[in-house]
Amino acid sequence: MPSFLAARALLPTGWAEDVLVESDAAGDIVAVTPGTAAPAARRLAGHVIPGVPNLHSHAFQRAMAGGAERRSPAGQDSFWTWRETMYRFVALFSPEDAEAVAAQLYAELLEHGFTAVAEFHYLHHQPDGTPYTDPAEMAKRHIAAARRAGIGMTMLPALYRHGGIFGKPPHEGQRRFLNDLDGFSRIVQGVRAAAGEDPQVAVGLAPHSLRAVTPDMLRALSGFDGPIHIHAAEQPKEVAECLAATGARPVRWLLDHMPVDARWVLIHATHLDDGEVADLARSGALAGLCPTTEASLGDGIFRLPEFLGAGGRFGIGTDSHVGTAPAFELRQLETSQRLRDHARAVATAEQNPHPGRTLLDAALAGGAQASGRRLGAIAPGMRADLVELDDTHPLLLGRAGDALLDAWVFSGQGNPVRSVVCGGKAVVEAGRHVHAMAIRDAFGVAMRRLLQ
């Protein structure tokens, strides 16, 4: 039975010392005992926090990161011009490429402290749009990559049918994404079979956006008993198109026409009016925030103080993977608020003056909700996902407890993650993924082919 002895660990009751964490063969925590000695347990000498769930990933875009920055000839670059670049790039991927790129991404996420990923997967078909012999081929490649890296996964097959609200013809570059409900159902069935009884894999659904599915399609998926993720209100143009087509803003339309509740995750939700802020918070749904991608694409800044003030919940993701670290996502989230509001320590409250801890607590709870898995806390019944922060690292030296979390989030560019345990298994040792070289070699083969 794997067991770990943390010199200091963040428990639901707060920080504790000499914490023995015992897990079973399936990777679930069975006991947590502070203030004990356990010579036979694996020693984690730093500060140990729960593994952080990543609630939004398009893994194939890891291969684009840093490669879609060049100014276009016409200038006036935006999310919409970036999307054209993405369409050209996505046409190049083989199943082998997708698996290699995903494995590299997942290893990097683990090295920075993400221990679970919600893969919002819409790269379904062959380049001409023809389904593979196995319609779930590409989704299964991502599950295989997650197993190779050792990260937990919530696979979210995405339903994508149209190119605009509601029912506009799709763009040629979207042909690899497109399904009707029957074709989508076959993919979901294949994903369920691939997940099986694996406690490291869960299954949800992802109607891509109001631009990509019809109201009838949304209604057909809305009874799903599990996570439902959807892009919403990422860009002002999207809001304007929805207003013109329906008379309502995207989030307002969803709140008024769908059974939005704690199963739902509205990815980005950047452009909300006052009523949407209050009602989204009241619904129990999550705002799925991807701060480094939202900054990279010029999306805008989420209304965090108002949303938190209304009781709203959020989690964080890395989306296009221009960033792959939870600390950097949390930093970008907080500092973007500071820039807009000319204030500091925005994501804090009187009961906890440390923004690092406040943001981490929210990301753990929200990420667990979005994943549909037992995550986000070092407690019996939860997955044994542990991240050891090296408190002798220059970024953290001399800090402890919540002050150490502030330093982790807001200090420097280094990575003080020393070791990571996921599902009771060590996947990062001395800051490096245990299969880093083999995964990187396969990634190199894929990237050379994609960029030739």
Residue pLDDT, tens place only, 392-439? 999 999 999 999 999 999 999 999 999 999 999 999 999 999 999 999
Active site residue 225: no
Give the pLDDT of residue 108.
98
CA–CA dist 237, 144 (Å, integer):
37
pLDDT at residue 320 greater than cutoff 90: yes
**pLDDT interval class at 94 (50, 70, 90):** very high
Give, to the nearest 10 degrees, the angle between helix 274-283 and helix 250-257: 40
Percent of the chain, pLDDT > 90? 91
pLDDT tens readout for residues 241-291: 999 999 999 999 999 999 999 999 999 999 999 999 999 999 999 999 999
Determine the topology of domain 51-376 in CATH. TIM Barrel (3.20.20)
The residue-averaged pLDDT of 321-328 equals 98
Give the pLDDT of residue 77.
86
Which residues are CB-neighbours of 317 under 8 A, at least 6 positions away? 54, 55, 56, 57, 118, 267, 288, 289, 290, 329
Q: Which two tokens stand for residue 446?
A: 């894929």
Chain-wide mean pLDDT for the chain? 96
Give the β-pairing of 286-289 and 264-268.
parallel
Q: In Å, what is the CA distance from 418 to each residue of 39, 47, 131, 198, 379?
A: 20, 10, 42, 27, 21
CA–CA dist 234, 297 (Å, integer):
10
Active site residue 77: no
The residue-averaged pLDDT of 36-49 equals 96
pTM: 0.97
pLDDT at residue 121 greater than cutoff 90: yes
Catalytically annotated residue among 47, 268, 354, 433: 268
CA–CA dist 159, 93 (Å, integer):
19
The residue-averaged pLDDT of 126-141 equals 97
List the beta strands (DSSP E) in 24-80: 29-33, 42-50, 52-57
Catalytically annotated residue among 97, 279, 299, 319: 319
The residue-averaged pLDDT of 167-191 equals 95
The residue-averaged pLDDT of 158-163 equals 96
